[in-house]
């Protein structure tokens, strides 16, 4: 069972890192493959996002490929079969935040169901 949990956590981590990749973020098709249709985010700005609004922002070219997000302290835990919770620290060009994501396994693979970012000093 531990191996299965480790594989699930690693799959969620891999998917999270793909979503943070500037090349992936610039592609609405690739982003939509990683977001659950019921996706919700409470962003560091305090704004509530859904899959449609996130796709509009990422496809508008707002991601700087020269400034990738720096990630540290990423860890995950399986909350239930097919559900992984990730937490990590992200530095996006000096905008630093603790981040939390829920990933769920679907028929098409791991998809982010929920994300929250909290700015830190």
Residue 93 to residue 10: CA distance in whole angstroms: 26
Residues in the chain, overall count: 121
Amino acid 59: pLDDT: 67
Residue 85 and residue 101: Cα distance in Å, rounded? 6
Is the CB of residue 117 less than 8 Å from the CB of residue 96? no
Strands ordered across the beta sheet of 70-80: 48-50, 35-42, 109-119, 95-106, 83-92, 70-80
User: Domains along the chain?
Assistant: 2-119 (3.10.450.50)
The tens digit of pLDDT for each residue in 76-111 reads 999 999 999 999 999 988 889 999 999 999 999 999
37-71, pLDDT tens digit by residue?
A: 999 999 888 899 999 998 887 766 555 556 788 99
């Amino acid at each position: 069972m531990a191996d299965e949990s480790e594989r699930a956590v690693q799959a969620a981590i891999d998917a999270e890192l793909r979503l943070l990749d500037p090349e992936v973020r610039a592609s609405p098709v690739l982003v939509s493959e990683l977001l659950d249709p019921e996706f919700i985010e409470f962003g560091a700005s305090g704004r509530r996002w859904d899959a449609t609004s996130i796709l509009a922002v990422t496809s508008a070219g707002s991601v700087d490929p020269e400034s990738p997000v720096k990630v540290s302290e990423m860890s995950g835990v399986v909350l239930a079969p097919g559900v992984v919770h990730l937490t990590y620290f992200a530095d996006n060009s000096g905008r630093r935040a603790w981040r939390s994501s829920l990933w769920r396994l679907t028929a098409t693979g791991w998809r982010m169901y929920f994300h929250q970012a909290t700015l830190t000093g």
